[in-house]
A and B are shown apart, each in its own frame.
Chain A
């Protein structure tokens, strides 16, 4: 019998399992009653911000921006030149991958042949094969992906905000890098990054939906026991980020109907667990201040400053915490000023306790809804595993949260001088 650790979620009468595999791979399995489809993610805690790292032999590596995303593309091709998509097409499963700031995930969804699909996933992610010729071809494809995002006003206003907030932290650059940076990627650099970050002790496997825990573990054992894995130690090296912002206002010209803006705040960064749990608190804070139930949104909507709800987002990770408020408005500076005034006033008046109770219900409901979709649940369980937490910690963090704790977080971290304005407009 495999040593499965059962985690019960009493609020939902649900449970899932955790296993620490001898290779170091962390496995999370969540069977979902009556679901026909299953979803599996195999991912590494390695993303676009990890461009500088030290290894045990004392080497310090600085690699081109965009290499984690490039590596994600290249893993889909095996030694025989066969595309991984072709292997999955034989079972009819959907396969894809994504790279974000701090993780690279490979995943599939399907309604049959789960174990066959899982085997393909485990095999292709563990079988890197790169040649200069295929790298050159991929540079052309990714250049088109970069150009596509360069034409996307939402993407541009978002990354410009981060570039305005951060001075040195690599979160300020696009996940795919630039056409110039990816042109410097070589086969040797890809193998170095792969060898550092794709060891099982830095990876997580999550399976949700119509899955059976014992068979998942057996499948992993069969494949991983036939290979030789080493525990790899490395150190992510992040530049020391100053506390001040980089640039107050940043603008870009693109064809848009009315200007798009994002107001960003640079908050203090703690350790990775603090940053992770604080993200949920910041999400609640942003909704209380600027969400559809807020007096501020009502005022902006009624005076015509905005016609749609604000897009609110708290970002957090290794060395960064920031809050983003996005909108479409014909008067960017006026709205920015209004947001700053609102923050100033709320620093004095404090948060409303009725609002706080209402927003706790909102946070509770978003956790319940996570359990409706195998893919959404798998992603949340993956993120929790990266910081060593379980799903109960999210319910606990909401139920224990007091209004004075949220107010303190707000007053200590959301300040006018740490704010920026990013604008994308036609002229």
Chain B
């Protein structure tokens, strides 16, 4: 299903041919090391480029061009996967056969122009005025993390758990880091990204569109031939094993709680599948131990779920509760995890978790966005495995393998965002 070819040293095109969608998408993912020193100077780049390009330096005109292409969408994102920072820029557009005019070639060219022909001064330095504006944009993105208390709680818990490692670095950097950015550092960072990032292009759509995108991008990267400074290898982290607990008070109605268990990076697909199944039984579905006990039986919360993050080997539980129920909630979340480690789950639990997981994998092929996420993760871990591969693997997992994975996990961090001070 995935056709992968190397365009240049460190530049790969991954095509997934799919005709059922009415749109196609082409996304260039720049994979860079995530460090405290470089995070914000790299994170600001998609915003610098999102403003337009040399021949179209006006943001409004840029958006009019996109709308003229039947609302083609420019995709920009900055995310972290383990200790990688992924800067993504892409475009999504409707296939020619579903609109009254041909637009796919123009859409691909628009993406290439916005990535390779930015608005710069004559000496290849970004304009001061644009940088000043985009620093405000990025600062606001960092500050806004406070607004969603659920995400804020998860992020803080993750930062505490991985304190001192690059995994704890915010993918958008810090406010002081952003304030200190200069046109020189950001311009250097831009050329470094083009020449030395590991580049994975993902294209999903009709074959002729993918061919056209591949050829045009191969040509576009010819002027920026470099060598990737990053080799994609399985990431290993040193992590703290003793428990650390932190509480922050905030003027909110409900206490938000996060508990983070670390088990380490799964080294085989089988270990990964077993851990994923374990997390589904523990807290990944409406029949999970956490949902049934913490919400349905004890009525302590509206949500209580567990998420496995393969890239750092963590399992994080999140819940929103009354402050007075904090100890009760913590105890039951921990005791339910203990039952997983003791193998206290039924064959039926495992069978239904397998069914749930397999259906999710099977349904990936119906969503361009989900396919993108799946294959980027598989490219980053260099296994290139398809959802179908995992669907077959899941059937082989035994209860003992789940227990073996659960036993690897240790509770290392509890973060409490203490609320309850407000009167409804």
Contact = CB atoms under 8 A, between A and B. Distances in A.
Interface string B130-149: 00010011001001111111
A260 B143 CA distance: 13
Nearest to A148: B320
Contact of A148 (B136, B254, B368): B254
Given A83-B287, A361-B71, A373-B367, A304 B136 contact: yes
Contacts, number: 178
A272 to B, nearest CB: 28
Given A256-B146, A298-B60, A150 B23 contact: no
A153 interface: yes
B320 A150 contact: no
Interface of B: 19-23, 58-60, 63-64, 67-68, 70-71, 94, 98-99, 133, 136-137, 140, 143-150, 250-254, 285-287, 291-292, 295-296, 299-303, 320-322, 352, 354-356, 358-360, 362-363, 365-368, 419, 422, 424
A92 B355 contact: yes
5 contacts: A89-B287, A112-B359, A150-B424, A293-B60, A362-B70
Given A144-B321, A307-B136, A371 B22 contact: yes
B355 A328 contact: no
Residue among A85, A146, A302 with most chain B CB within 10 A: A85
B151 to A, nearest CB: 11
A369 B70 CA distance: 11
Contacts of A144: 254, 300-302, 320-322
A110 B358 CA distance: 10
Across chains A and B, which 6 residue pairs bring their CB atoms closest together, nearest first? Answer: A92-B355, A257-B143, A85-B286, A140-B299, A145-B302, A111-B362
Contacts of B70: 361-362, 364-365, 368
Residue among B63, B145, B365 with most chain A CB within 10 A: B63
A36 B363 contact: yes
A280 B115 CA distance: 34
A141 B91 CA distance: 42
Nearest to B143: A257
Contact of B59 (A11, A90, A254, A298): A298
B301 A141 contact: yes
Interface string A389-423: 00000000000000000000000000000000000
B98 A12 contact: yes
A152 B63 CA distance: 30
B366 A35 contact: yes
Interface string A257-296: 1101000000000000000000000000000000111110
Given A147-B424, A304-B133, 20 more contacts: A37-B363, A90-B352, A95-B286, A109-B363, A110-B359, A112-B359, A112-B362, A142-B302, A144-B254, A147-B254, A148-B303, A257-B145, A301-B59, A308-B140, A328-B140, A358-B67, A358-B68, A362-B70, A364-B99, A372-B21
Contacts of B149: 151-152
A238 to B, nearest CB: 27
Contacts of B299: 137-138, 140-141
Contacts of B363: 36-37, 109-111
Contacts of A368: 22, 70, 94, 98-99
Nearest to B150: A148
Contacts of B19: 34
Contact of A150 (B254, B356, B366): B254
Contacts of A170: none
Give chain A's interface secondary structure class: mixed
A92 B144 contact: no
Contacts of A11: 98
Interface in A61-107: 83, 85-86, 89-95
Contacts of A145: 302
A39 to B, nearest CB: 10
Contact of A92 (B22, B136, B358): B358
Interface of A: 11-12, 32-37, 83, 85-86, 89-95, 109-112, 137-138, 140-142, 144-148, 150-154, 178-179, 209, 253-258, 260, 291-295, 297-298, 301-302, 304, 307-308, 328, 358-359, 361-362, 364-366, 368-369, 371-374
B419 A91 contact: no
Nearest to B146: A257
A257 B60 contact: no
Contacts of B58: 298
Contact of B355 (A89, A307, A361): A89
Contacts of A359: 67
A373 B144 contact: no
A397 B146 CA distance: 42
Given A92-B352, A365-B99, A151 B252 contact: yes
Contacts of A148: 150, 254, 302-303, 320
Contacts of B71: 361-362, 365-366
B253 A92 contact: no
A141 B295 contact: yes
A91 B355 contact: yes
Contacts of A292: 59-60, 63
A369 B94 contact: yes
A142 B302 CA distance: 7
B404 to A, nearest CB: 24
Contacts of B302: 141-142, 144-145, 148
A35 B367 CA distance: 10
B362 A151 contact: no
Contacts of B321: 144
Contact of A358 (B64, B150, B322): B64
A153 B60 CA distance: 29
Given A141-B295, A257-B140, A92 B359 contact: yes
Contact of B23 (A257, A328, A372): A372
B370 to A, nearest CB: 10
Contacts of A12: 22, 98
Given A141-B301, A364-B70, A257 B94 contact: no
Contacts of A291: 63
A307 B142 CA distance: 12
Nearest to B69: A361
B424 A178 contact: yes
Contacts of A297: 60
A204 B149 CA distance: 36
A324 to B, nearest CB: 18
Contacts of B322: 144
B320 A179 contact: no
Contacts of A92: 352, 354-356, 358-359
A226 B149 CA distance: 48
Contacts of A94: 356, 359-360
